[in-house]
Structure 1
Amino acid sequence: MTTTVPLIYSFPEFLGVADAVADLVISAQNQTLYNTTDQKQIELIKSGQLKRPSINKTNSSISVLNQSNGNNNLNNNGSSNHNSNSNINSINNTPNHSPSHSQSGLNFNNNKSSSSNTSNLNPNTNTSSSISSSTSATTNNIEKNNKIKKEKKILKKQEIRFKIAISGGSLIKILNQGLLSKQDYIEWDKWDIYFADERLVPFNSPDSNYGQAKLEIFDHIKGDKKPKIFHIDETLIEDPQEAADDYEKQLIQNFAKKDSVKLPMFDLLLLGCAPDGHIASLFPNHGESLREKLAWCIPIENAPSGPKNRITLTIPVICHASRVAFVVEGLTKAPIIKTIMERPEKGLPSSIVNEGAAGRVSWFVDDAALNDLYDITKKKYKYLSIPEPK
């Protein structure tokens, strides 16, 4: 049995997985953009009648996207440590990575103090004038500071975006099935979409994650408001190292900018799991890629299955995400799911993530993929952002 048991949501069929994943994505979007999943509050925030709630760093009572039994502790690579006594879904314990709009105010009592002091002063002295001048300067400083803070808040509000990374394979079809019919709940223009991995093939190849996502999802987005999509440079597919370096530069530009950031933090990272146990393009028994600690994106050459050359996000980047969700369906996945959950000592990539991102990992699985698994408690998914399917 895995030492850190993730949340496992089980569904009778493919459609149930797709609907729940869509709700997860939209809930994560709302939590990131508005610090709440309450649709009434969101509408008030959008209309300007309510301020966006801020996360209290000293109190772990943050908005959650779902519910489960147990406490979840977060402390990963500098992310916030939230200990909650309420029943919360581990994937929805969101470290405070979104820009917070609450800033501690300055408390000055200079006016009161000046009034008290000047009442006893000799009017023939210049002290009263000096204090008045000092008070005026302090007031101007306060007003200037408040203006700067207000401008910073506006700037931060403009910069808040939902950063999601997706993998390929059957996950693309699940997102097609679940998301496209629920676009009224999606604010595409506030999304930054990245890829957890990519096969180094032309975009028109059925093996291209970006190519398939474009065909199945991006080309079907309604309206003029589109997401920002970050993909590999197609001209670099013949050079895995250069392709990986170039994609990492995109990540650095968007996550680090002028700041020193050890790791990027995605609001949600969606992964599949292949029958051989690989996630993204991290394969079992590929020691070097699984042990990489510093790089954000690395090349994979001579992959044991599928296209040989790829790039992939590394284990530390995956584990640093606010939420990690594995989406798995089909009877062919049952043996590997059993190994992942019951034999963590085998060191499969997803088992490493279960441990490394403990408290923020969930699995969305159909019953067929759990065919051989009996000792894991399955949970009912609670819909928060879209109506529960009947």
Structure 2
Amino acid sequence: MTTNVPRVYAFHELKDVAGAVADYVVHAQTAALNKDVNLTNQILTRDNSGKNITEVNGNLSGSSSVLSNTPESSGKYTHKRNHSRHRSKKLSVEPRFKIALSGGSLVQVLHDGLLTRTDIQWGKWDIFFADERLVPFESEESNFGQVKRKILDHIDIAKYGKPNVYHINETLIGSPQECADNYEKQLIKNFARRDSVKLPMFDLFLLGCAPDGHIASLFPNFQDNLREKYAWCIAVENAPSGPSSRISLTVPVICHSHRLAFVVEGSTKAPILKTIMERPEKGLPSSIVNEGAAGRVSWFVDDDALNDVFITKKKYKYRHPVPAMNE
């Protein structure tokens, strides 16, 4: 494994991590909701170079990733008016912000950062889950349950709209493989037919990292799950920590995201961060993602989590200052 150093943003306090993560989410949201307009303009003005959309516009995601895998999106394009009109119609669907969330302490960070803002366009969000513990939604261990109680239930729907939330079928928690297959079908339905898109592309994928090194529900050196190349969602049984039955999106899906961010805090994470950042050859899940999505990965951490970790820190540049809250 070669060494690809991700962007690491460090903060003195957890509240500063929450604020920066929220700003980064808004940045990703803004880019996603504007992408179809930009794509339309580029298609109407493109030349006959023969390059396909993904080669020219590698920074596009969401519905444009579906376009890039259709037969129509390969080969040369002409400037004929009827062709442009046909393409514009395809891009007339309302853009959505597709985000994948993990659970754990990340949810509290998002609660603290997102719910203080007035520029979150919740009504244009499609929320998916990086993984899920197969427990009832009312359980404290449920990722969806946690997100619902700490975030979704606090959204002013009348003012900001209601996000689409795609969670597991709670009636299938007794059958991990069936639950994983069912969730994968939801992904296929939302991102395109399986034969049209090799992998879904999220606009933003948010992850934590546990002290034992697992991300989502992908554990180090466990059941060859890190080597899965084809499935979008897998069943995880007899997990080495926490609830034993889970589902998880796979490494190829995670690495295919337009943007990825890890949010890690606390001194208990320092030892595993040291290994991730200084010993990528160990092949921990986060190191694999750092490598597989090189150039698209950011880490938001507090100073406690970087104790004794040798890494170059970057100063986070806020793109969307927090608007004043309405009284």
Task: Give TM-score scaled by structure 1 length.
Answer: 0.73
SS for the counterpart of 2:126 is strand
State the alpha-carbon separation in 2 of the partners of residues 296 and 360 from structure 1: 20
- In the TM superposition, residue 257 of structure 1 has moved relative to its aligned partner by 3.8
**Aligned position for 1:106:** 79
Question: Counterpart amino acid of 1:188?
Answer: W
Match of 1:169 among 78, 88, 104: 104
1:355 aligns with 2:291: yes
Superposed, 1:156-195 pairs within 5 Å as 156-182=91-117, 184-195=118-129
Give the C-alpha shift of residue 256 in structure 1: 1.2
Could you say what secondary structure the match of 2:162 adopts? coil
- The residue number in structure 1 matching 2:141 is 207
- 2:7 aligned partner, one-letter code: L
Partner of 2:155: 221
Task: Provide structure 2 residue ranges, at least 5 long, that are not aligned to the other structure.
Answer: 44-51, 68-75
Q: 1:365 to 1:80 in 2, by over 3 A?
A: farther
1:326 matched to which residue of 2?
A: 262
2:4 corresponds to which residue? 4
Distance 1:153 1:386 in 2: 33
Deviation for aligned residue 1:268:
0.3
Distance 1:328 1:258, change over 3 A: closer
How far does residue 260 in structure 1 lie from its aligned partner after superposition? 1.1
Corresponding position: 1:268 with 2:204? yes
Alignment correspondent of 2:22: 22
Q: Distance in 1 between matches of 2:176 and 2:198?
A: 23
1:301 to 223, 234, 237: 237
Aligned pairs, how many?
A: 304
Q: Which amino acid aligns with 2:129?
A: F
Q: How far 1:292 sits from its partner (Å)?
A: 0.5
The residue type equivalent to 2:26 in the other structure is I
Looking at structure 2, the residues matched to 178 and 322 of structure 1 have their Cα atoms a distance apart, in angstroms, of 21
Query: Does the CA-based 8 Å contact 1:277-1:350 persist in structure 2?
Result: yes
Identity %: 62
Q: Is the 8 A contact 1:2 1:340 kept in 2?
A: no
Structure 1 pair 157–254 and aligned structure 2 pair: CA distance change class (3 A)? same
User: Alpha carbons of 1:203 and 1:151: their partners in 2 closer, same or farther (altered >3 Å)?
Assistant: same
1:218 CA displacement: 0.4
Residue 118 of structure 1: aligned partner: none
**Alpha-carbon displacement from aligned partner over 1:56-89 (angstroms, at most 9, x marks no partner):** 59xxxxxxxxxxxxxxxxxxxx994689xxxxxx
- Counterpart of 1:31 in structure 2 is 31
Deviation of 1:344 after TM superposition, in Å, equals 1.1
TM-score by length of 2: 0.86
Q: Is the 8 A contact 1:20 1:383 kept in 2?
A: yes
RMSD, aligned α-carbons: 2.7
Query: Using the alignment, how far apart are the partners of 1:282 and 1:106 within structure 2?
Result: 47
Q: Secondary structure of the residue that 1:303 maps to in structure 2?
A: coil
Equivalent residue letter for 1:168: G
| 8 Å Cα contact 1:319-1:357 kept in structure 2 | yes
In structure 2, distance between residues paired with 1:317 and 1:229: 18
1:246-277 per-residue CA deviation (whole Å, 9 max, x = no partner) reads 00000011111486111000000000000000
Report the alpha carbon displacement of residue 188 of structure 1 after superposing the two structures with TM. Answer: 1.0
> For residues 85-134 of structure 1, what are the alpha-carbon distances to aligned partners after superposition, in whole Å with 9 as ceiling and x for unaligned?
xxxxxxxx834555399x96636xxxxxxxxxxxxxxxxxxxxxxxxxxx
User: Over residues 189-218 of structure 1, what are the superposed CA-to-partner deviations in whole Å (9 max), with x where a residue is unaligned?
Assistant: 111000000000000000000000000000
**Which residue of structure 2 aligns with residue 52 of structure 1?**
37
Tell me, yes or no, if the aligned pair for 1:188 and 1:227 is still in contact at 8 Å.
yes
